[in-house]
Structure 1
Amino acid sequence: MYLKDGPHPSVFNEQVKVVVPHGGNATLPCKLNRDSQSSFAGGEMRVKWTKFSKDSSKENDVLLSVGFHKTISGTFSRRAYLLEADEDDASLIINNVTLDDYGKYKCEVIDGLDDSKVVVSLELEGVVFPYSPRLGRYNLNFHDAVQACLEQDAVVASHEQLFNAWKAGFNWCNAGWLSDGSVQYPITAPREPCGGKNVAAGVRSYGLRDKDRAQYDVFCFTSHFRGRFYFLIQPYKLTYREAVEACKNDGAEIAKVGQIYAAWKLLGYDRCDAGWLADGSVRYPISNPRRNCSPTEAAVRFVGFPDKKLKLFGVYCFQVFE
């Protein structure tokens, strides 16, 4: 909470973090605090909402309000507006929250030469997962990593998202890109091949790396989806091409890696059948560990990137809800 003393409007918020599901609506609080001596007369004050970039190096405009005139910027057009529950309410509403909406927002009230501001974090309920392409480990520069996550219905995870996943038990030895251009990896069980067994558990960082030349894996973040994820029952095993067609014939599309992780983590989806996914990988989600089906841990099990001509697997499909 930030407050300014004196006879000018100041702002405060009742919560510094808002957590919503993907596709939901978020209310980012921002309230004016005025006294009877305030110089504000109603027409000169400006309310400005901005969003910090992934690395916090700059701010991007979201909404500017001056009296009755309001300007909404970029991807927030038609999705963002002020709540204005009363004359002191400058809270921001964001409808149909996307994965890219995650981050820190600043509400700034400007009255002449005076201004006051608060910062609110918007977080999404979701899951962080590691990703490497068919080429294998450490083959993505930062720009390739961004594209790889997008293709799997996800975005590159932030440090905060990876840190929260680590606190929840995420343990992964391969280093991956994060949204600020750093490369990190989460270790809950220190061991020799992963930085040493005598080093404390934690999120280990290589720091910022060259986005064009350095190559690593990537940590992606995905959230709830509007659709149905399912294993398509078939009388026989499928090649990759047959798997794509089978989903299409069922009124769906072959599922993406982000969708299998979201179904597993957020919906508790559990199935022991290995199935093709859109990137050509074969995986299966286990929420209830058991013999022959990930006996030691709940996880999305990775079979690999087999020859697409092999008729050895089923398929996971995804049907979008209109």
Structure 2
Amino acid sequence: MTSTHTPETVIEAVGLGRDFVLSEGPLFRRRRRTVSAVRDIDLTVRSGEIVGYLGPNGAGKSSTMKMLTGILTPTTGHLRVLGMEPSRERTRLAARIGVVFGQRTTLWWDLPLRDSLELARHMYRVPAADHARRLAELTELLELGPFLDTPVRQLSLGQRMRGDLTAALLHGPRLLVLDEPTIGLDVVSKSTIREFLLRSNAEEGTTILLTTHDLGDVERLCHRVVVIDRGSMAYDGDLAGLRATVPVPRVLVVDLTAPAPALHVEGARCVRVEGPRQWLELSDNPTAVIGRVTAEHEIADLTVQEPDIEGVVASLYRGAAAGEPSPSPS
């Protein structure tokens, strides 16, 4: 029998907008100007999704996150998170969501990490037995053991981030909101946090919404991406669809047997030369271009590089900045 179960709606935003009023000019001749930080955002996130919320600085990501967590009240539109209106039910909502801001900490700076987490237990009113069980699980998964008794101010950035994640997850939230969760971390710390988030999503069904400038986070974690630019949604869909929406040329990397001037090949444009290696941006079928290159030159190796998500998103931003129409959200 086919299941008809529909995942629960965790976030529902319709026509969401937030304006700010700025005062400008000399002291006694101030002028007021209204700026729309976010406008007409339609966003539905269902239980168990991992959604990347992407955009350049100033696009409106932080304003959206603050509305979702109840810090800001929307100027326009309808917003529900776990069935609640965030700005009106902020305390109740806080007990059901976890929030981590990569450049800020919720831990107590001069206390050992263990004590900070104990205080978080009291804040969220988690029973002692549940806290002990949950802390033991998170300590193992995030490898907290060696520094649980270290003051937070002495932790490395990667250790502190793991501590912040633990504090955000101790009460078993259904939604985890992450703002730049891997910013400034080394490769090993990033990998640890990414794998932990995937496991939390797979085993506990935690819904995750994250903003990030690290496209490695997006490619490893996100089932879906939403791109916001100048306060409006530019794209909502999967990574494959984003790549198709914003075509970025593939690149043929050619290793010649000896250094040579930039190659001139029909269907390609040489964009870089380093000794015997050249990078050709393709405008024709790769097979056809490879045939032309091998027919005219002595080749040691050839590789076709597919466009990465960073290049795709950068192209989308550039198009929006130049005034080109944004692709319609799917």
Bin the TM-score by the shorter chain: under 0.3
Calculate the TM-score normalised by the size of structure 1: 0.27
Normalized against structure 2, the TM-score is what?
0.27
